[in-house]
Amino acid sequence: MHQDKIKELVERRKSARNGGGQKRIDAQHAKGKMTARERLALLLDEGSFEEFDMFVQHRCTNFGMEKSRFDGDGVVTGMGTIDGRQVYVFAQDFTVNGGSMSETMAAKICKVMDLSVRNGVPFIGINDSGGARIQEGINSLAGFGEIFERNILASGVVPQISGIFGPCAGGAVYSPALTDFTIMVKDTSYMFLTGPGVVKTVTGEEVTQEELGGATVHATKSGVAHFSAENEKEALMTIRKLVSFLPSNNLEQAPFIPTTDPAGRYDDALNTIIPESPNKPYDMYQVIGSIVDDGGFLEVHKNWAKNIIVGFAHMNGRSVGIVANQPKILAGVLDINASRKAARFVRFCDAFNIPIVTLVDVPGFLCGTQQEYGGIISHGAKLLYAYGEATVPKVTVTLRKSYGGAHITMSCKQLRGDINYAWPSANIAVMGAEGAVEILYSKEINAIEDPAERTARYEEKKQEYNDLFCNPYNAASYGYIDDIIEPRNTRFRVIRALEQLAGKKQENPWKKHDNLPL
C-alpha cells in the first residue's frame, strides 16, 4: 500500500510537470517559445529549483470548468538560485488554460511574493498569459489586485524583475509596470491594455499586435520595456546578468565582483576625446567603457531616450549606477523622456544602496512647444527630485557643457553631490557664451554701424564671457567643484571617491512618503 502511494506521487509529479500535455507543449515550441519549466531551468542554477504548490488546482465550477483541472493551475512557482544567490520566481504556463489568471494562480504567486519580502530576496516573474480567466469573473480580477498590492509594498524593499515571454494584456500589464525592470522578447511577446480588435472598434485604427505592443515598440517608443532580447535564452541571460549587479534587498550591498582591472589604470585617449569645437559630438560610451571594470556595462533602456545613458557597471569590484548625457544624440540635451528615464534609474539605485556616478555634458533642457505642452517642467523636476533626495554616494564628473537648470539637475553640489569633479574642458555656467552675449550686449553691439567692427566687438565680448565663466575654475573657486582632474585619470579618481564614501550615512527628514512631481 505504501509503495502504491509513492507511485501515485511520482505519477502526479510527472503529470504536473507536463503542464497541459504534449500537444500543447508542441504548440508552444512551434511558436518559438519555451515552456514555463524550460524557462526556469535556464534562468536558475542547475538543480536549484524548489517548487511550491505543484498540486494546487482551480476551484471554478462555471461554464463546465470543473471538468478541466490541472495540477499547478497554469503557473509554476518556487525558489531557486542565480549564481548561488536565492531568488523567488513564478512562470506562467501557457499550455494550461492559456496561462490565464485564476484565483488559485494568484494565490500561488502571492505566496512567493510574500516569502520574497519576508526573507529579503529578489522576486522574478515570467509572464505568458491570455489574461484574466473569464470563467472566474470577479475572482480573477481580485487575484490581479492582490498581486498589484504586493508589487507596491515590495517596491524599494526587494528587487522585482518581470520577463514578458508571450502575451500580457489588459490588467495583467500592471504588475510588470509596477516592478523595477521589464524584459521583453522580440516577435513572441507583447504588452497592451486593449488589443488590436478593440482598438479598431473604438478608434477605427488598424494595427497589429506587434505594432501595438511588441518588444521593439516598448523598447524604443514607450519606454515600458527596459530590455529587449532577440530570443528567450538571451532574455533569461539578461535577467541573470542584471541580478549580479543588485543587492538581495534594501538593507544589503550588491555583491562584490573581484576584478584584475587595476584601479589606477590610466587611459590617455580620454585626454583627447573632447573635440576643439564645442558643437562637435563625441561618443560617451567610450568614456564609460574606459572608466569601468573591464569595459563591462549593462545598459538599461538602451534604445529609448538615447540622449541620456543609464546602466550598471562595476568599479573596482563594486556595483555602480552610471548616468551620462550622450552628446551624439540631440547634443545630450535633457528632454521629457530622458528626464523620466534617468529619474527612475536614480531612484532605483538610491533604494538599493547602489552608488551613482554621473558623467555630465548637457547644454540644457530641450525647448519648444512640444516639450512645454508635454510638461517638460514637471518631468525635468522628476530628475532633479531624484538626485536631490538620493542619499547613496554620488560622484559627478563634468566633461564639457553644464548649463543652466540642466547643470543643477545633473547631480550638482547643491543637490548633495558628494564629490564633484570637472575636466579642464568643462564649461559650467548659466548658458553658453553666444546666448549670454546676445542678452547682455545685443543693444550695444547692434548700435555699431560698421559690420567688421560689430563682429569684432561681438567676438571680444564672447571671449570675455568665456574667460570669466565658460571654464571649471569659476565654479571651483566657490567650492562647487571639488577638484579639476586630468581626463586620463578619471577611473582612479572616481574609484577613490567611491571608496571614501563607502561608509556614507545620510538620512532625509521623516515623512510618510514624498510627493514627487509625477
Confidence at residue 403, expressed as pLDDT on a 0 to 100 scale: 93
pLDDT of residue 163: 97
What is each CA distance from 75 to 93, 169, 494, in whole angstroms?
5, 17, 45
pLDDT at 416: 96
Contact 174, 198 (CB under 8 A): no
Please count the structural domains in the chain.
3
Indicate if 323 and 400 belong to the same structural domain.
Answer: yes
443 in the same domain as 308: no
CB 101 within 8 A of CB 135: no
Domain that holds residue 214: 2-244
Integer CA distances (angstroms), 227 to 162, 168, 186, 231, 505, in order = 10, 16, 10, 12, 32
Q: How far is Cα 116 from Cα 107, in angstroms, rounded to an integer?
A: 14
Residues 445 and 494 in one domain: no
At 99, the amino acid letter reads: G
List the one residue out of 301, 131, 338 whose CA is nearest residue 224: 301
Looking only at the bridges linking them, the beta strands covering 356-362 and 181-185 are unpaired
Q: Is 21 left (phi over 0), alpha (psi -120 to 50) or beta?
A: left
Kindly state whether residues 449 and 483 are assigned to the same domain: no
Residue 509 lies inside a defined structural domain of this protein: no
Residues 331 and 240 grouped into a single domain: no
Classify 198 as helix, strand or coil: helix
Positive or negative: CA dihedral 144, 150, 152, 156:
negative
| 189 is a domain residue | yes
365: domain CATH number is: 3.90.226.10
210-251 pLDDT tens trace? 989 999 999 999 999 999 999 999 999 999 999 999 999 999
Three-state SS annotation for 402-439: EEHHHHHHCCCHHHCCCEEEECCCCEEECCCHHHHHHH
Count of other CB atoms within 10 angstroms of residue 458: 19
Helix or strand (DSSP H, E) at 400: strand 394-403
Q: pLDDT value at position 96?
A: 76
- Say if residue 313 is in the same domain as residue 197: no
Phi-psi region of 459 (alpha: psi -120 to 50; beta: other; left: phi over 0): alpha
Q: Which residues contact 439 (CB under 8 A, 6 or more apart)?
A: none
What's the rounded Cα separation, in Å, for the pair 102 and 66?
13
| 513 in a structural domain | no
Task: Tell whether 221 and 325 lie within a shared domain.
Answer: no
The answer to whether residue 19 sits within a structural domain is: yes
Q: What is the per-residue pLDDT for 448? A: 85
The predicted structure's pLDDT at residue 62? 57
Helix (H) or strand (E) holding 356: strand 356-362
pLDDT tens by residue, the chain, 518 residues: 578 888 877 887 777 677 667 888 888 898 889 999 999 999 999 999 999 977 666 565 555 555 566 666 789 999 999 999 999 999 998 887 666 777 788 899 999 999 999 999 999 999 988 776 656 668 778 888 999 999 999 999 999 999 999 888 877 899 999 999 999 999 999 998 888 888 889 988 999 989 899 999 999 999 999 999 999 999 999 999 999 999 999 999 999 999 999 999 999 999 999 999 888 999 999 999 999 999 999 999 999 999 999 999 999 999 999 999 999 999 999 999 999 999 999 999 999 999 999 999 999 999 999 999 999 999 999 999 999 999 999 999 999 999 999 999 999 999 999 999 999 999 998 888 788 888 888 888 888 888 888 888 888 888 888 888 778 999 999 999 999 999 999 999 999 999 999 999 999 999 999 999 98
Q: Are residues 279 and 188 in the same domain?
A: no
| DSSP string over 291-326 | HSGGG--EEESTTSSTTEEEEEEEETTEEEEEEEE-
Q: Considering the domain boundaries, does residue 251 fall inside one?
A: no
Cell of 275: 573635440
What pLDDT score was predicted for residue 61? Answer: 53
Helix axes 138-154, 103-119, angle to 10 degrees: 10
Give the whole-angstrom CA distance, residue 444 versus residue 332.
Answer: 33
Residues 207, 335 within the same domain: no
196 and 232 inside one domain: yes
Please check whether residues 368 and 489 belong to one and the same domain. Answer: yes
Residue 17 lies in a domain: yes
Domain identity same for 344 and 364:
yes
Residues known to be catalytic: 170-171, 405-406
The reply to whether 273 falls in a domain is yes
Domain boundary residue, one of 210, 244, 278? 244
The C-alpha atoms of residue 296 and residue 236 are separated, in whole angstroms, by 18
Position 134 scores a pLDDT of 58
Q: What is the pLDDT of residue 74?
A: 84
Q: Is residue 510 part of a domain?
A: no
66 closest CA partner among 119, 17, 102, 91: 102
Give per-residue pLDDT as tens, 98-118: 667 777 888 999 999 999 999
* Distance (Å, whole) CA 166 – CA 305: 25
